[in-house]
Structure 1
Amino acid sequence: MGLDFESRASDSPFVERVWLSRSSEVDTMMSVAASCWDLVVCERRGQVSVVVHGPESRARMAPVPEEATFFGITFSLGTTMPHLPAGRLLDDEVELPNATRRSFWLKGSAWHLPGYDNAEEFVRRLVREDVLVRDPVVDAVLRGEPPKLSARTVQRRFLAATGLTQGTARQIDRARQAAVLLREGTPSLEVVHRLGYFDQPHLARSLARFVGRTATRLGAGDTAEPLSLLYET
């Protein structure tokens, strides 16, 4: 019962994760903050929907369709669709039209529905057709090699490509990493030191904002409501 997740990493620079999920006897979940955006295919009772789900700036309760299956591609930070930028989708989503079990409509064309095993092939086609791009400024920042631009220009480009400031993106990813460590049984004080939090209250505030769980609940494996996909980066 709840949400079952299966996921894998990807060798594509455009993709952070590929995942599958199934819901059973659950109608809500805690949607954890995420710096990346997803393309999500949902099938329920023979009906298919395709949604572009934007980055999330904080944890929130979200509805879950009952007895549904989901397939998702989580795109890496800095990957964007220029006609549907992540900045416009922050804490929001857009359902793509004309979705069937075979295809859906994106940027004026019909596209074959991707799957877990051919996600990278689908992404390569998006790149070839200029539907999907990566911002080189974000790439440089993530490599720790800031480009020779003003700090204000870099921040503006980062915000436009990701929907988040550099600081917020770092805070979200650190909180998600902390949640993974706590669920694995790592003591909260060790998490504080390992991830560079000031102290345990600082960790607690971060978890409350971005994960919607306390360190104690995460460590105890509390399953009052399922969490959205968490994975070790």
Structure 2
Amino acid sequence: MYREVPSARVRGAVLWWSTSPSWTTPVRILPDGCMDLIWSQRHGLLVAGPDTTAQVGTASPGERYVGLRFPPGTGPAVFGLPAYELRDRRVPLTALWSEGRTRELDERAAYADRPERLLESVAAARLGEAGGPDPVARPLVARLDAGGEVARAAADLGLGPRQLHRRSLALFGYGPKTLARILRMQRALSLLRTGVPAADAAARTGYADQPHLSREIRALTGLPPRTLLTTTP
């Protein structure tokens, strides 16, 4: 029902496909620091902003989606506005770009055999026009994803704490500490999904102990780890 592959045209991005089952079902999207450009069979082109906590919605039976998920910090260069304006939001692309242009893209996607190619083409063109994403994004994410401290990351990048916070709001939708929490949770979930015991996953990802890991997962996703792992791919 869901699959994904690395994008061949947008660095660090992921193409994904999802088809809802034949019955109405709740869908839980976990925060990951990313923004998505999505084509929905029913709703056309949509933009998913960066989430601070899990977003829970209901998918229509048989609904088909094709999406392009940008790495943290890349979405603002594609969509042309700071990430904090889209934080915890899902909006039609017409809310960001001209209606005429969006209508044309919607029609092309609806009749395309492979709408993912259109998403990649649009994103690559926008990134080219913008000169690429903010160069701070990639090294900052790399440092935080490796478990580095926010203060050390700021110093390494030659930024003061306030500068880093402003850049992070624009790039990710929230401050660097929130981004670090989300990235760490995702690292821990990746380990748990491979069968690593919770206590080991907590130690390997920098949590004080297993209860600390459980509290963070619940705070960011709304579910305890065991329930989350059995209900979310």
TM-score range, shorter chain: 0.7 to 0.9
Q: TM-score, normalised by structure 2?
A: 0.78
* Contact preservation (8 Å) 1:39, 1:74: yes
Please give the secondary structure, in 2, of the residue aligned with 1:51.
strand
Match of 2:162 in 1: 152
Letter matched to residue 123 of structure 2: V
TM-score (norm 1): 0.78
Aligned pair partner of 2:50 in 47, 52, 55: 55
Runs of 4+ with deviation above 6 angstroms: none
**More strand per residue:** 1
Deviation at 1:216, TM superposition (A): 2.6
User: Structure 2: any 5+ residue segments left out of the alignment?
Assistant: 144-152
Q: C-alpha offsets along residues 128-166 of structure 1, whole Å, 9 cap, x if unaligned?
A: 333x84112223423547332322112211211211111
5+ long unaligned stretches in structure 1: 99-104
Would the aligned equivalents of 2:164 and 2:176 in 1 still touch at CA under 8 Å? Answer: no
1:179 aligns with 2:176: no
Q: CA deviation at 1:183?
A: 2.6
Out of 191, 208, 213, the residue aligned to residue 218 of structure 2 is: 208
- Find 1:7's aligned residue among 4, 29, 43: 4
Which of 61, 67, 70 lines up with 1:66 in the alignment? 61
Query: RCO higher in 1 or 2 (8 Å CA, sep ≥ 6)?
Result: 1
Q: Which has the higher helix share?
A: 2
Q: How many aligned positions are there? A: 210
- CA 35–184 in structure 1, closer or farther in 2 if over 3 Å, else same: same
Show the counterpart of 1:28.
26
Which runs of structure 2 are paired with 1:77-226 in the superposition (5 Å)? Answer: 77-79=72-74, 80-81=76-77, 83-97=80-94, 106-107=97-98, 109=101, 110-111=104-105, 112-113=108-109, 115-117=115-117, 119-130=119-130, 133-144=132-143, 146-218=156-228, 222-223=230-231
